[in-house]
Structure formats: structure tokens, C-alpha cells
């Protein structure tokens, strides 16, 4: 595709459910980032992949959060036993290089935990 | 710990005015500073990137400046248009992670 694609666009989950959020980066992009954006706030870094390698997961809030990019393209962010504080927009970004420069963002997945 | 602040949180101006958005950061050890635009329900679009060794960058009606020593950046928008209405966020690349401000919500009144 022409841009970064995220699905689903909206997700409503009951507290305690597991969810999986998908990111399709731009083809050939080496770097992939996940961010969490709470309402009225800037994004906060969650994790970073360089190809299939997860080089930084220091931003994941708890061990309920897990991300993977097994073939170096599509990535999935999984949240287990969702809590109300997990409600946010989850943004994915990709870059052709190994740096933060020239990032392309998806439209995000808005997660609401009831 | 790097912290990024944007003031004001919201700004409303008539069409045609020039305006300045502010971004401040606490740690001057940065690789670059970036300005993004976010439209409602959409992702972020990169506007300008200033390397740590640079003082400013320009793209069309946008000009961004960087003063590392004082921990400040400004985004200047000339001749504002209704289509400029969006939230503008700055982010500093600090230790290979982007640290973001909360953004300035800009409304340009026709």
C-alpha cells in the first residue's frame, strides 16, 4: 500500500479481554515504532523494531503488552487482560532508515476498554 | 529525564495572520527536533526536522527555529489559512526515542 495501514480503526473491549492491533508498514521500511497517545496528550513511545528484531521495548507499560514483527514487515501489538487505563489511540509509524527521521504514521487504532 | 512542553495549548486566530507556536525542552542533548501536524482522527504528518547542528528549517509558509542552548524551538506559520487548522506537536529525538509535547491546537477562523 501507499501508506502505513492500521487495523482495526476502532476497538471496544471489555475489561479483562485480550486485544490484537495490527500495523502494515510501508513496504521496505526497516524501522517500525509503536506509540500510545492518550486524549489531549502527545504520543508516548512503546517499542521499536528494526526489521524483525525488537531493539527497544522500554516503553511497554507492563508485561500485559507484547509486540512482534516476525517477518520484518507486519507488526502486531497485543494487550492481554485489558484495563481501563489502556484506553488510548495506538499509533504505528515506519521509516525507511534505522533512525527516527522521516517517519510515516498510520491513522491509529482507538481502543476503548469498558 | 527529557520533558517537552508546548505553549499555548490552544490558539485561535483570524485567517491571514502570521503566528508562532512554541516548544521547550529540558535537556539540550538532542539529535534533532521535529514538528508534526495531527488532524482529527488521523495520524501524524511530518512537517519539518531540524538537526541538532542546525538553527532553522523552512518549508513553504512554515519556518522552524532551534536554540539548543535555551531549550527552545518555534514554528512560524506565515499567512495562515483555514486549512492550517490542526494540532501541532513537536518532538525531540533524545537517545533514539522521540519525546513529545502535548501539542498546540490551532484554529484558523475564516
Which residues from chain A sit within 8 angstroms of residue B40, using beta carbons? none
Task: Cell numbers for A85, please give them.
Answer: 487505563
Indicate whether A1 pLDDT > 70: no
Specify the pLDDT at position A19: 98
- pLDDT in the model for residue A114: 96
Give the integer Cα–Cα distance in Å for A94 and B2: 23
Does the beta carbon of A25 lie under 8 angstroms from any beta carbon of chain B? no
pLDDT band, very low/low/confident/very high, at A98 (cuts 50, 70, 90): confident
Q: Is it the case that residue B25 has pLDDT exceeding 90?
A: yes
**Among residues 5-64 of chain B, which lie with CB inside 8 Å of chain A?**
31-32, 34, 41-46, 49
Mean pLDDT, chain A, integer: 95
Q: What is the pLDDT of residues A6-61, one digit of tens each?
A: 999 999 999 999 999 999 999 999 999 999 999 999 999 999 999 999 999 999 99
Cis peptide before A44 (omega within 30 of 0): no
Vertex A41: Cα angle to B26 and A34 (nearest 5)? 90
- Chain A residues closer than 8 Å to B98 by CB: 33, 43, 45, 100, 103
> Taking a C-beta distance cutoff of 8 angstroms, is the pair B104, B21 a contact?
yes
Query: Model confidence at A74, in pLDDT bands (50, 70, 90)?
Result: very high
Amino acid at each position: 500500500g501507499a501508506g502505513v495501514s492500521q487495523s482495526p480503526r476502532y476497538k471496544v473491549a471489555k475489561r479483562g479481554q485480550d486485544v490484537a492491533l495490527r500495523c502494515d508498514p510501508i513496504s521496505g521500511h526497516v524501522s517500525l515504532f509503536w506509540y500510545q497517545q492518550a486524549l489531549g496528550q502527545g504520543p508516548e513511545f512503546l517499542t521499536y523494531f528494526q526489521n524483525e528484531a525488537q531493539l527497544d521495548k522500554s516503553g511497554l507499560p507492563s508485561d500485559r503488552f507484547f509486540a512482534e514483527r516476525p517477518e520484518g514487515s507486519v507488526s502486531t501489538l497485543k494487550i492481554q487482560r485489558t484495563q481501563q487505563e489502556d484506553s488510548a489511540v495506538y499509533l504505528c509509524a515506519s521509516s525507511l532508515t534505522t533512525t527516527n527521521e522521516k517517519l510515516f504514521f498510520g491513522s491509529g487504532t482507538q481502543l476503548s476498554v469498558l | 529525564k527529557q520533558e517537552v512542553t508546548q505553549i499555548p495549548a490552544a490558539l485561535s486566530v483570524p485567517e491571514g495572520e502570521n503566528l508562532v507556536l512554541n516548544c521547550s525542552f529540558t535537556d539540550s542533548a538532542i539529535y534533532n527536533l521535529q514538528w508534526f501536524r495531527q488532524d482529527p482522527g488521523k495520524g501524524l504528518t511530518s512537517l519539518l526536522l531540524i538537526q541538532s547542528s542546525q538553527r532553522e528549517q523552512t518549508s513553504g509558509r512554515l519556518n522552524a527555529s532551534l536554540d539548543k542552548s535555551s531549550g527552545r524551538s518555534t514554528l512560524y506559520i506565515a499567512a495562515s489559512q483555514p486549512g492550517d487548522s490542526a494540532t501541532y506537536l513537536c518532538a525531540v529525538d533524545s537517545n533514539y526515542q522521540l519525546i513529545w509535547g502535548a501539542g498546540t491546537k490551532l484554529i484558523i477562523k475564516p
